Amino acid sequence: MSASTRDPQVITCKAAVAWGPGEALVLEEVEVDPPKPMEIRIKVVCTSLCRSDITQWESKAHTLLFPRIFGHEASGIVESIGEGVTDFKEGDHVLTLFTGECMTCKHCTSGKSNMCQVLGLERRGVMHSDQKTRFSIKGKPIYHYCAVSSFSEYTVVHSGCAVKICPSAPLEKICLLSCGVAAGLGAAWNVANISEGSNVVIFGLGTVGLSVAQGAKLRGASRIIGVDTNPEKYKKGKAFGITEFINPADCNEPVQEVIKRITDGGADYSFECIGDTGMITTALQSCCDGWGMTVTLGVPKVKPEITAHYALLLSGRTLRGSLFGGWKPKSDLPSLVDMYLKNEIQIDEFITHNLQFEEINEAFNLMREGKCLRSRVQENSWQWP
C-alpha cells in the first residue's frame, strides 16, 4: 500500500475506520495532518489487534467518539517530525505507546509509577496537546484511539507516545511489545516480583496471560497453573511455561477451591487477565493467607466495580492493579527489545496469523472467536522473513 501526498503537509492514505460501535471496519481514504509541535508522523509498518481494541469497539458507552480509528499495538518508521522534537528524526524505527512518558511530571520523576500525568491514557479520542484530531475524511474529523490509532497507514502521535528502537529489531514482530507481551512480562516482574520456587495461577490464557506465564517461568516459578475455558489454550500455554491446566467447566467445585486444594492453601501469586471483575474475587480467593498477591490486568467490559469480602485482605492478601506491567514506556521498552534480540524472551510464538490490511476484520473475528493469540496485520510494505 502506498500513500499519496496531496500537498507538502497533508497525507492521504488508507485507514480502517469504525463508523459505529460493533460495525465492521471500512477501509477509507483519510487525510492525515502534519505533526504539530512535539509530535511525529509515523508510517505504520505492522500492527496487531489487542483485546481492548475489541472491547472499546463493541462498547456503546462512547457513541459520540465515532467514526474512529482503533489500534494501539504497532511498529513503524518516522515519516516527519514537528517543531521542538529532538529525540526522533525521519527514518527512525519506533514502537507506539498507548500511555506515554513526559519525563518531567510528578509521576514520571517519582520512581514509583508509570502513570504519566501529561501523556497518560487518552480517553476522548483526540490528541493530548490541543484536544483535536489529526484525521479527517472530506473535512469530517475522525477520532483517535489511545492517542495512537495504528489501523491507519500513517498516524500522528505525541513524541512522548513513541519510543525509538534498534533498527535491527524486526518491526513485524516487536510490535507486540507495545502492549500485550510487555504488559504480561511486567506484571510478573515489576508488579508481582515473582520469587523463585513459587506457585502461580493465571486466569485467562490470551497473549497477556501467557506473557505472565513466560515471566513466571523466567523467574523460576515451580508451578504455573493456567485457568481457561478453552482447552486449546493449554497446548499453546506449555510453550510459555504453563505446567498445569484447569478448565472451570470441568470442575465439580469452585475453581478457587480446586486451586487451594492442589497448592496446599492457595497460590503465592494469582493474575486476572480476562477483564472480569467477578474473576478478581475468585483470583483473590485462590491466593494463600499471609502473603498471597493478586494482580489484575484485564480491562472489564461490564461492571467495573470490584466486590470482595474484607476478610480476604485482612488475612494478608494483597490486590494490585497493573497498567502496562509497570514499565516506564520510553525508558524501559528498549531493554525488552534487547532481550528479544538476545533470545531471552519469546515474541514470535504469539503470532498465530499473518494478515494484510484488507483482512483486518478477519483479525477481529479470530479474536472474538478465541482462535488466535495475536494477528499481525501488515499495512505498509515490509520484507517479512
The CATH number assigned to the domain holding 267 equals 3.40.50.720
Domain-embedded: residue 342: no
Q: Which cell numbers in the block locate residue 123? A: 480517553
150 and 286 part of one domain: no
CATH number for 373: 3.90.180.10
Please state the pTM of the whole predicted model. Answer: 0.94
**Which segment of 157-166, 183-192, 266-275, 294-303 scores lowest on mean pLDDT?**
294-303
CB 128 within 8 A of CB 100: yes
Range of the domain at 290: 181-323
Task: Please tell me the distance from the alpha carbon of residue 35 to that of residue 320, in angstroms, as a whole number.
Answer: 37
Query: What confidence tier does 383 reach under pLDDT thresholds 50, 70, 90?
Result: low
What domain count does the chain have?
2
User: What's the Cα-to-Cα distance from 291 to each of 108, 267, 297, 306, 354, rounded to whole Å?
Assistant: 29, 9, 19, 20, 42
Domain-embedded: residue 337: no
* DSSP-assigned beta bridge partners for residue 156: 41
Domain-embedded: residue 383: no
Task: Please tell me the distance from the alpha carbon of residue 228 to that of residue 218, in angstroms, as a whole number.
Answer: 22
Task: Please tell me the distance from the alpha carbon of residue 275 to that of residue 297, in angstroms, as a whole number.
Answer: 7
Task: Please tell me the distance from the alpha carbon of residue 295 to that of residue 191, in angstroms, as a whole number.
Answer: 8
Closest CA to 209 of 242, 244, 178, 246: 242
Domain-embedded: residue 335: no
Domain-embedded: residue 318: yes
133 and 272 part of one domain: no
Sorted by sequence, the CB contacts under 8 Å of residue 132 that are 6+ apart come out as 126, 141
Query: What confidence tier does 6 reach under pLDDT thresholds 50, 70, 90?
Result: very low
132 and 278 part of one domain: no
Domain-embedded: residue 4: no
142 and 249 part of one domain: no
Domain-embedded: residue 373: yes
- Look at residue 385 and tell me whether its pLDDT is greater than 60: no
296 and 352 part of one domain: no
Domain-embedded: residue 385: no
Helix (H) or strand (E) run with residue 41 in it:
strand 39-48
313 and 357 part of one domain: no
Residues 112-160 have pLDDT tens digits of: 999 999 999 999 999 999 999 999 999 999 999 999 999 999 999 999 9
DSSP state of 24: P
| Angle of CA points 70, 328, 225, to nearest 5° | 80
DSSP state of 287: B
Residues 362-377 have pLDDT tens digits of: 999 999 998 999 999 9
Helix (H) or strand (E) run with residue 153 in it:
none
Task: Please tell me the distance from the alpha carbon of residue 341 to that of residue 337, in angstroms, as a whole number.
Answer: 6
Q: Which cell numbers in the block locate residue 66? A: 465515532
Average of pLDDT values for 302-307?
87
Average of pLDDT values for 77-106?
97
Name the amino acid, one letter, at 139.
Answer: G
18 and 65 part of one domain: yes
Q: What is the mean pLDDT of the chain?
A: 94
135 and 222 part of one domain: no
Residues 255-278 have pLDDT tens digits of: 999 999 999 999 999 999 999 999
Name the amino acid, one letter, at 155.
Answer: T
312 and 218 part of one domain: yes
- Look at residue 384 and tell me whether its pLDDT is greater than 80: no
Q: In the chain, pLDDT over 90 holds for what percent of residues?
A: 91
How many CA atoms does the CB half-sphere of 340 hold within 13 Å?
A: 23
| Angle of CA points 110, 115, 118, to nearest 5° | 95
154 and 285 part of one domain: no
47 and 146 part of one domain: yes
86 and 27 part of one domain: yes
* DSSP-assigned beta bridge partners for residue 319: 294
CB 334 within 8 A of CB 109: no
Query: What confidence tier does 162 reach under pLDDT thresholds 50, 70, 90?
Result: very high
Query: What confidence tier does 164 reach under pLDDT thresholds 50, 70, 90?
Result: very high
Sorted by sequence, the CB contacts under 8 Å of residue 45 that are 6+ apart come out as 74, 75, 76, 77, 171, 172, 175, 378, 379, 380, 382
User: What is the three-class DSSP state of 75?
Assistant: strand
- Look at residue 4 and tell me whether its pLDDT is greater than 50: no
Q: What is the pLDDT of residue 350?
A: 97
